[in-house]
Amino acid sequence: MAVSRIQHHGSDELKNSMHELSIAMSLVDLARQEAERVRGRVIALHIKVGPLSGVFKDALLSCYEMASHDTSLQGSQLMIEDVPIVIYCPQCRAERTVGSVQRFCCSVCSAPASQILRGKELELVSLELES
Ligand SMILES: [Zn+2]
């Protein structure tokens, strides 16, 4: 029998990871429903996480492990794909990436962004299932 070891967190850390835990639990629910529907077993979940989604990847990964423990998803992988921050640059009149997460400026001409187009994503892209 597998023995699980859950690391003890301080109350502040626990509070911070509540967000990730609820996300992880929704992902597990979604994947389980899909796996039941096709009568398969989930091997991996692919998700997209933008830097502006407010999600900490490491926290999400450990929460996923916690949430999938003792479910049919135990041992499945959560694959996180990074999404770049994309803005609309009024100067270039084009979609551009930003120079850094701290400054929402065009990476080409340094003009301030007028609109953030991508970077807030938190979405399930695909499921890998085995029948
Ligand atoms: Zn520009």
Helix (H), strand (E) at residue 23: helix 11-37
Model pTM? 0.77
Q: Is the dihedral of CA 31, 126, 123, 60 positive or negative?
A: positive
**Cα-to-centroid distance, 56 and ligand 1 (Å):** 29
Q: What is the C-alpha to C-alpha distance for residues 75 and 26, in angstroms, rounded to an integer? A: 17
Residue 49 lies in a domain: yes
Output the domain CATH number for residue 50.
3.30.2320.50
**Cα-to-centroid distance, 83 and ligand 1 (Å):** 19
**Cα-to-centroid distance, 109 and ligand 1 (Å):** 4
**Cα-to-centroid distance, 47 and ligand 1 (Å):** 29
Residue 23 lies in a domain: yes
**Cα-to-centroid distance, 111 and ligand 1 (Å):** 5
Residue 64 lies in a domain: yes
Q: Give the distance, in angstroms, between the CA of residue 99 and the centroid of all CA atoms in the same chain.
A: 22
Residue 78 lies in a domain: yes
| Structural domain count, the chain | 1
Rg (CA), the chain: 18
Q: Is the dihedral of CA 12, 55, 67, 6 positive or negative?
A: negative
Helices 57-68 and 11-37: crossing angle in degrees, nearest 10, is 60
Q: What is the C-alpha to C-alpha distance for residues 70 and 1, in angstroms, rounded to an integer? A: 11
**Cα-to-centroid distance, 102 and ligand 1 (Å):** 17
Residue 123 lies in a domain: yes
Q: Could you list the pLDDT tens digit for every one of the 131 residues in the chain?
A: 455 554 444 444 444 557 899 999 999 999 999 999 999 999 999 999 999 999 999 999 999 999 999 999 999 999 999 899 999 999 999 999 997 777 889 999 999 998 999 999 999 999 999 98
Beta bridge partners of 110: none
Residue 35 is part of which domain span? 12-83+119-130
Q: What is the C-alpha to C-alpha distance for residues 107 and 95, in angstroms, rounded to an integer? A: 10
**Cα-to-centroid distance, 105 and ligand 1 (Å):** 8
Residue 35 lies in a domain: yes
Residue 30 lies in a domain: yes
**Cα-to-centroid distance, 117 and ligand 1 (Å):** 14
Residue 52 lies in a domain: yes
